[in-house]
Amino acid sequence: MRYEITGAPLPVVTCYLSSGESIKTEQGAMSWMSPNMQMATNAGGGSGKMFSRALTGESIFQNVYTAQGGDGMIAMASSFPGDIMAINVANGPIVAQKSAFIASEASVNMEMFFQKKLGAGFFGGEGFIMQKFSGSGVVFLEFDGSIVNMQLAQGQSIMVDTGALAAMDATCSVDIEMVPGVKNMLFGGEGLFNTRVTGPGRIWLQSMPVSSLAGAIRPYIPTGN
């Protein structure tokens, strides 16, 4: 499969499939495609997989598109201003924020990922349940705002604002730390907690989580009388 990601700030990923090749997509993700792409909707692994997707913020069913009788093309557009990242999970499993999944090659597996530490789950900005992708092939994930990619060495940590962590290698760990000092917590404008991510592994940080954007524009939204 070939692919290209174009456009900003609302990007589109266009995938070019050989005859007989398939791609899995989030329900409703398709924007346009060639006429020979055949769609099949399924639970993608039974009731257990359906339950997992529901808990991670995805739709219960998935669509599988297959190129029939020749090469095919399918495009998926982002639903929010940001970036679409193509990550090959053959290099190792990754963990991503809920609702990040757009599409993947058929050989990619998606499952729930539970934060091992309750504090990180409740206060780390992404919740107790995230998405884990493994297997082989490319997964396409949608992140909010611009993306900064970093490589953390063994034991190296970085502190990030809650919600800024978009994805990480499964080898990384997440914990939360309370902002020190009462005045800092009350008047610093950074909230009560920050997220500590520790390597080894890659991390993807997003510049404008959708929750932050909602808070930024809320004062400018007219209220009803």
Is the pLDDT at 12 greater than 50? The verdict is: yes
Once rounded to an integer, what is the mean pLDDT over residues 153-175? 92
Size of the chain in residues: 225
Instruction: Give the three-state DSSP class for 68.
Output: coil
Q: Structure tokens of 214?
A: 């909602």
- Distance CA(9)–CA(31), nearest Å, equals 16
Per the CB < 8 A criterion, the answer to whether 156 and 202 are in contact is: no
Residue 141: which residues within 8 A CB-CB, separation 6 or more?
84, 85, 87, 96, 100, 101, 102, 166, 167
Domains by residue range for the chain, with CATH? 2-217 (3.60.160.10)
Per the CB < 8 A criterion, the answer to whether 144 and 166 are in contact is: yes
| Mean model confidence pLDDT for the chain | 83
pLDDT in tens, 48-63: 555 555 554 556 678 9
pTM for the whole structure: 0.81
pLDDT in tens, 73-126: 999 999 888 999 999 999 999 999 888 999 999 999 998 887 655 444 444 444
